[in-house]
């Protein structure tokens, strides 16, 4: 399963009754308050003007996410160096462009790196933010049922999941395919009742690492006046990565064309959840993946390396969830399993849960149905090859019935005839081919 894609600004954050932030950095208004080298801000200003041609201080404020007084101070310093030509004024704001010497300098800075977006925060500020925003989660059965109200889950499963989430320690969910492990993982972040601040970027040794990812992080449209605008208010992140996962996705990635680093998955997932779905089916071996996580899981810190060898420490404040339909004992050794204290078995469902799933889907899609179809479908599943009931069967078979109805240009209906036709398409007969060969 690919990383969750949610490129949107969330305006209906249903659980956001409390908007008070536990981490609320003030915007720097003077050079001495700035947590990154002011020369880096100069570079950002020059690069932006180099690519856009002209700007105003308010225009730079909108792009760089820094305060007007701070940018005005740096503007005046660069103006004294004759880097700018003033083209006009609007009130107390200047419109300006690069001078000859300014363009020459900006071109040199542009060759070093192309980034000219929101100013980064310092590594120390980032580390402080992650530690301050560590989750304090109180979980009970009522909250779990509300969180997973869109799914049909047994009480026994919820009673395993609840204490595991409460501990905020690594979780291993395992069991047969098709019983909702990925569905549960994709909704885990709903358990959190608060929001966090995520920086657009982080500065390390003069290098810029882009952290905020609009495809992954769900931005909240809330009033954050007074807060340093280099930070974005978001839901706690939930990143799901599956079979496409590769070792380099846990390392800094330097874009050669721009000379800017993109943050690895675990850094983007800080203060949230990182789900390794389909564990054991990646192109890399489980041993390689698990060896990468031994130190972070034990010490709650990780180490990243810049392209020229500089290594630095970052917090690893992430709930890691492994999900697999393979036997955990075949994937990892006992030493690693000890580091994952919460092991939850997602077993086959019983007839009662199976029926609830079936009728919930019918209700949600408003589909006409024949009385007694739950018994018909259960019998079909067992007669056509299923050894047990799985949560995915009702949805998959109803989807097939919908496709049949679309194909035949008829209204959809769940009845015995359509169930039999769809079930025969869905289930395989593993011995039929071998019998024909004999």
Domain assignment of residue 297, yes or no: yes
* β-pair type (207-210, 201-204): antiparallel
Same-domain status, 218 and 357: no
Instruction: pLDDT band for 19, please (50, 70, 90 cuts).
Output: low
Q: How is the beta sheet containing 121-122 ordered, strand by strand?
A: 121-122, 201-204, 207-210, 260-262, 253-255
Domain assignment of residue 28, yes or no: no
Q: What is the CATH number of the domain that holds 279?
A: 3.40.50.300
State the Cα–Cα distance between residues 144 and 123, nearest whole angstrom. Answer: 35
- Using the predicted structure, report yes or no on whether residue 187 has a pLDDT greater than 50: yes
Average pLDDT, the chain: 88
Same-domain status, 199 and 311: yes
- Using the predicted structure, report yes or no on whether residue 99 has a pLDDT greater than 70: yes
Q: What is the CATH number of the domain that holds 364?
A: 1.10.8.60
Q: What is the CATH number of the domain that holds 52?
A: 1.10.10.10
Instruction: pLDDT band for 313, please (50, 70, 90 cuts).
Output: very high
Q: What 3-state DSSP class applies to 71?
A: helix
- Using the predicted structure, report yes or no on whether residue 17 has a pLDDT greater than 70: no
- Using the predicted structure, report yes or no on whether residue 174 has a pLDDT greater than 60: yes
Query: Is the CB of residue 277 less than 8 Å from the CB of residue 186?
Result: no
Same-domain status, 137 and 262: yes
Q: Burial level of 216, CB count in 10 A (0-12/13-18/19+)?
A: buried
- Using the predicted structure, report yes or no on whether residue 438 has a pLDDT greater than 70: no
Mean pLDDT calculated for residue range 88-109: 94
List the domain range (segments joined by +) for residue 287. Answer: 9-22+124-345
State the Cα–Cα distance between residues 135 and 424, nearest whole angstrom. Answer: 48
Structure tokens at 104: 């020459």
Query: Is the CB of residue 118 less than 8 Å from the CB of residue 201?
Result: yes
Same-domain status, 68 and 106: yes
Domain assignment of residue 305, yes or no: yes
Query: Is the CB of residue 40 less than 8 Å from the CB of residue 206?
Result: yes
Domain assignment of residue 236, yes or no: yes
State the Cα–Cα distance between residues 411 and 406, nearest whole angstrom. Answer: 8
Locate all alpha helices (DSSP H) within 286-391, ordered by sequence.
286-299, 328-331, 334-338, 351-365, 373-383
Q: Burial level of 309, CB count in 10 A (0-12/13-18/19+)?
A: exposed
Give the pLDDT score at 11. 39
Structure tokens at 427: 């289930």
Give the pLDDT score at 429. 67
Same-domain status, 88 and 203: no
Same-domain status, 249 and 100: no
Examine the fold and report which residue of 100, 116, 132 is the final residue of a domain before the chain moves on: 116
- Domain total of the chain: 3
State the Cα–Cα distance between residues 260 and 61, nearest whole angstrom. Answer: 21
Mean pLDDT calculated for residue range 190-196: 88
Examine the fold and report which residue of 345, 375, 403 is the final residue of a domain before the chain moves on: 345
Same-domain status, 204 and 295: yes
State the Cα–Cα distance between residues 411 and 418, nearest whole angstrom. Answer: 12
Examine the fold and report which residue of 345, 371, 394 is the final residue of a domain before the chain moves on: 345
Same-domain status, 324 and 383: no
Domain assignment of residue 155, yes or no: yes
Q: Burial level of 410, CB count in 10 A (0-12/13-18/19+)?
A: exposed
Domain assignment of residue 163, yes or no: yes
Query: Is the CB of residue 195 less than 8 Å from the CB of residue 14?
Result: no
Domain assignment of residue 30, yes or no: no
- Using the predicted structure, report yes or no on whether residue 434 has a pLDDT greater than 80: no
> Tokens 């490129």 label which residue?
7
In SS3 terms, 5-69 reads as CCCCEECCCCCCCCCCCCCCCECCCCHHHCCCCHHHHHHHHHHHHHHHCEEEHHHHHHHHCCCHH
Which of 92-106, 205-219, 242-256 shows the lowest per-residue confidence on average (mean pLDDT)?
242-256
Same-domain status, 257 and 372: no
Same-domain status, 88 and 160: no
For residue 435, what are the contacts with CB-CB under 8 A and spacing of at least 6? none
Q: For 398, phi and psi rounded to 5 degrees? A: -65, -35
Same-domain status, 305 and 379: no
Same-domain status, 256 and 391: no
Domain assignment of residue 4, yes or no: no
Give the pLDDT score at 116. 92
Q: What 3-state DSSP class applies to 177?
A: coil
């Amino acid at each position: 399963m690919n990383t969750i894609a949610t490129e949107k600004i969330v305006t209906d954050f249903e659980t956001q009754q409390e908007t008070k932030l536990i981490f609320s950095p003030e915007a720097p208004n003077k050079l001495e308050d700035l947590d990154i080298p002011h020369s880096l801000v100069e570079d950002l200003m020059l690069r932006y003007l180099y690519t856009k041609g002209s700007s105003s201080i308010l225009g730079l404020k909108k792009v760089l996410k820094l305060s007007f007084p701070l940018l005005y101070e740096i503007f005046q310093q660069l103006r004294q160096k004759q880097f700018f030509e003033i083209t006009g004024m609007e009130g107390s704001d200047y419109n300006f462009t690069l001078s000859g010497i300014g363009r020459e300098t900006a071109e040199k800075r542009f060759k070093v790196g192309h980034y000219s977006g929101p100013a980064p925060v310092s590594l120390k500020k980032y580390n402080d933010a992650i530690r301050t925003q560590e989750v304090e989660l109180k979980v009970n059965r009522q909250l779990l049922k509300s969180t997973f109200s869109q799914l049909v889950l047994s009480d026994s499963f919820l009673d395993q999941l609840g204490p595991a989430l409460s501990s905020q320690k690594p979780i291993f969910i395992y069991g047969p395919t098709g019983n909702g492990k990925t569905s549960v993982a994709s909704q885990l972040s709903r358990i959190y009742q608060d929001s966090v601040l995520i920086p657009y970027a982080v500065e390390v040794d003069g290098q810029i690492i882009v952290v905020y990812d609009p495809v992954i992080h769900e931005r909240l449209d809330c009033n954050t006046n007074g807060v340093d605008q280099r930070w974005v208010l978001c839901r706690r992140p939930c990143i799901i990565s599956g079979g496409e996962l590769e070792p380099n996705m846990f390392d800094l990635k330097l874009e050669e064309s721009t000379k800017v680093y993109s943050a690895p998955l675990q850094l983007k997932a800080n203060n949230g959840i990182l789900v390794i779905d389909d564990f054991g089916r990646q192109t890399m071996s489980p041993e390689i993946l698990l060896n990468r996580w031994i130190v972070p899981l034990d010490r709650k810190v990780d180490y990243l390396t810049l392209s020229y060898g500089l290594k630095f420490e970052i917090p690893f404040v992430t709930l890691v969830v492994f999900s697999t339909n393979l036997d955990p004992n075949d994937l990892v050794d006992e030493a690693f399993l000890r580091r994952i204290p919460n092991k939850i078995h997602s077993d086959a469902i019983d007839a009662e849960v199976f029926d609830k799933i079936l009728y919930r889907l019918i209700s949600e899609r408003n589909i006409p149905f024949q009385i007694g179809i739950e018994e018909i479908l259960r019998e079909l599943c067992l007669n056509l090859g299923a050894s047990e009931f799985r949560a995915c069967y009702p949805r998959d078979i109803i989807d097939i019935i919908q496709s049949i109805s679309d194909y035949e240009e008829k209204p959809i209906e769940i009845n015995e005839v359509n169930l039999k036709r769809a079930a025969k398409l869905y289930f395989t007969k593993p011995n039929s081919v071998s019998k024909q060969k004999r």
